[in-house]
Structure 1
Amino acid sequence: MPNKRPRGPQPHWRPKRETLRVLTAVDTILDRYRDHLPISLRQTWYVLLSDGVMAKIERDYKRMCEYVGMARRSGRIPWDAIRDDTQIAVEAPPSFAGPGDFFTAVDAAVDDYRVDRQTGQPVRLELWCETAGMVPQLVRIGEGFGIACFSGGGFDGLAGKHDAAMRAVEGGRKTLVLHIGDYDPSGEHLFNSLAEDVIAFAQAAGAEVEFERVAVTPEQIATYDLPTAPPKATDRRSFSGTTTTQAEALPPDILATIVREAIAAHRDLEVHRQALAREEAERRAIRERLGRWSDPGEPPAG
């Protein structure tokens, strides 16, 4: 029997009244958090709950996913506004339309020139999050300080843990991992498992690593009145709380503020300003060395 679910673009789709009510609320959310896009479906869902648009039941979550999916197929919601948690990023090898295109890329590369903005700081920072869908938001926050962001979901990422320890060795000073994860038995055990294993690998290689839980904390749940749920009855692992909250329940702007404050607490701002000044001076020097050309199709002189 053929699958009757929608496939491909749906430009002629017209939502029903209830669907339109929910999508109008989603439009408002995307406009409210336009500086933090893309956001994940789960983040959208939690804001809808906070705004009283939908009830916290699995059926409503599935309905929202279907509505948003059709809205994307129809063109109502831009594809790049929503981050799919299961999306896999694949980069093609670089290629160019011709020499002019290449030198345009060189020009853009000079604009993007950066020094290591963590040089001279008391600790080297990394951002880790449990949910892959939150990575793009955290990347935007960390990039201004030269801080990389990693998704640390799962308990069996042995190679990733070892890689983190080796980055600490190469960094030449203490590494502090700022971690964002769910407040539930799984999130607590994930955080502890990651920290213990990475720290052990680092110590064996002569490096120092520490982990700091940035979110979600019981204090944040109370302060921001985040939605909670009881722990799963089937999860027998020890847990410090009595209710659970997912990291994506934090509104994007509040999450950004929390992460920025955590970063600033471990940055020497004068050292950071000096790095930016050095970066700009070296960028000018590169431009002088390459020379400028009026026709992007012509290579620089000399």
Structure 2
Amino acid sequence: MSKITASRKKRNRGYIEGYKPNAKTRQLLEQAQVVLQEYRKYWPLTCRQIFYRMVGAHGYDKTEAAYGRLCHHLANARRGKLIPFEAIRDDGVTTYSLGHFDDRDAFLRHVRQLGEGYTRNRLAAQHVHMEVWCEAAGMLPQLHRVAEWYSVPVYSSGGFDSLTAKKRLADRICAMEKEAVILHLGDYDPSGVSIFDSVAADVTAFVEADRPHGLVSVEFERVALTSEQVHDNDLPTAPAKATDSRSKTWTGGTCQLEALPPNVIADILEEAIKRRINWMQFVEDLDAEEQDRVMIGGLLPAPESMGAV
């Protein structure tokens, strides 16, 4: 039986104490820190977003090898405490949280916090249900900050072509019993566009078959990335992959969503949401939310009855 041994290659574990990158790496990290500071309000950024900003602003090589080097140095800089961990998101972790409490007092504190932070679903009374779907899971926190004010949920579409995901989406739409709009953000390439078109057709077919009445419908809008946005923002492109059979009918280059600056993506998404909002209803919901919060506050357990906080 062969013996399995760990790699002899030394890898960093935990923090890097006394991290001192060489001059060339320091220059690279200084450029990355300029990008992070410029887009501070959109943290966490993905490594790919930092990469594209450096390609455009600092002439960094637009190659996968250069991207790999940047990711390596960014990881070391975080371990070395030169860059805050919360500035970058590079995880793909799925978490199942537990609604458990240390004791009764912890539960009562939780209930009071929920009541004090009560927010009405501002989409519930609108004539249309909206959802945001994005290929890049790392961008979800940025998109959530835009959509949260309007109570629009945000999903990662990494499994967008999953039959289960498509059926669940169709079931949610049918349960809403009204029009639905799916706002999608993804790469501009043959694969991304083809999957988007296929999913739109598949979900629409499920909705039309299962809807409780004719007023239930679904519309898919590709918010980003489009050929017009690539052109208007002078984004870097690459040839379509020759190994992708869908490239045969593709015209022009391809481009990744993360090539768009974070602020531009946020503006594009917010505009797409605002176009669908009934503002009279929205203001009514904000007023009702405040009244609800006052009423809920009167029903909550008093702080003194909850033990030490």
State the TM-score, normalizing by the size of structure 2.
0.91
Distance change in 2, residues 1:298/1:14 (3 Å): closer
Which residue, 292, 295, 306 being the options, matches 1:282? 292
Matches of 1:93 and 1:291 in 2, distance apart?
A: 23
Matches of 2:159 and 2:278 in 1, distance apart?
A: 33
Within 5 Å, give how 1:132-281 maps onto structure 2.
Answer: 132-154=137-159, 156-206=161-211, 207-237=216-246, 238-281=248-291
2:112–2:300 Cα contact (<8 Å) kept: no
Tell which deviates more after alignment, 235-244 or 128-137.
235-244
- By how many angstroms is 1:192 displaced? 0.8
1:155–1:193 Cα contact (<8 Å) kept: no
Matches of 1:291 and 1:58 in 2, distance apart?
A: 56
- By how many angstroms is 1:119 displaced? 2.4
- By how many angstroms is 1:295 displaced? 6.6
- By how many angstroms is 1:100 displaced? 3.8
Compute the RMSD of aligned alpha carbons.
Answer: 1.9
- By how many angstroms is 1:232 displaced? 1.1
1:184–1:241 Cα contact (<8 Å) kept: no
Matches of 1:31 and 1:295 in 2, distance apart?
A: 45
Say yes or no: does 1:90 pair with 2:100: no
Matches of 2:102 and 2:130 in 1, distance apart?
A: 38
Q: Provide Cα deviations, 1:200-244, integer angstroms capped at 9, x if missing partner.
A: 111111241110010011111122111111111222215553111
Q: Give the aligned partner of residue 110 of structure 2.
A: 105
Displacement over 4 Å in runs of 4+ = none
Amino acid of the structure 1 residue aligned with 2:42: H
SS in 2 for 1:87: coil
- By how many angstroms is 1:79 displaced? 1.6
Distance change in 2, residues 1:155/1:272 (3 Å): closer
Matches of 2:131 and 2:249 in 1, distance apart?
A: 26
Matches of 2:167 and 2:275 in 1, distance apart?
A: 27
1:117–1:146 Cα contact (<8 Å) kept: yes
Matches of 1:78 and 1:101 in 2, distance apart?
A: 31
Matches of 1:280 and 1:240 in 2, distance apart?
A: 52
Tell which deviates more after alignment, 46-55 or 290-299.
290-299
- By how many angstroms is 1:29 displaced? 1.3
Which residue, 119, 124, 145 being the options, matches 1:119? 124
Which residue, 28, 44, 57 being the options, matches 1:38? 44
1:29–1:47 Cα contact (<8 Å) kept: yes
- By how many angstroms is 1:189 displaced? 0.8
- By how many angstroms is 1:291 displaced? 5.1
- By how many angstroms is 1:281 displaced? 0.8
Tell which deviates more after alignment, 108-117 or 139-148.
108-117
Amino acid of the structure 2 residue aligned with 1:269: W
Distance change in 2, residues 1:23/1:147 (3 Å): same
Q: Give the aligned partner of residue 25 of structure 2.
A: 19
Tell which deviates more after alignment, 167-176 or 45-54.
45-54
- By how many angstroms is 1:16 displaced? 0.9
Matches of 2:123 and 2:303 in 1, distance apart?
A: 33
Tell which deviates more after alignment, 38-47 or 152-161.
152-161
SS in 1 for 2:245: coil
Matches of 1:74 and 1:281 in 2, distance apart?
A: 49
Amino acid of the structure 2 residue aligned with 1:105: H
Which residue, 52, 73, 76 being the options, matches 1:70? 76
Q: Provide Cα deviations, 1:2-28, integer angstroms capped at 9, x if missing partner.
A: 121222221222111111111111111
2:31–2:58 Cα contact (<8 Å) kept: no
* Structure 2, unaligned runs of 5 or more: 1-6
* Structure 1, unaligned runs of 5 or more: none
How many residues align? The count is 298
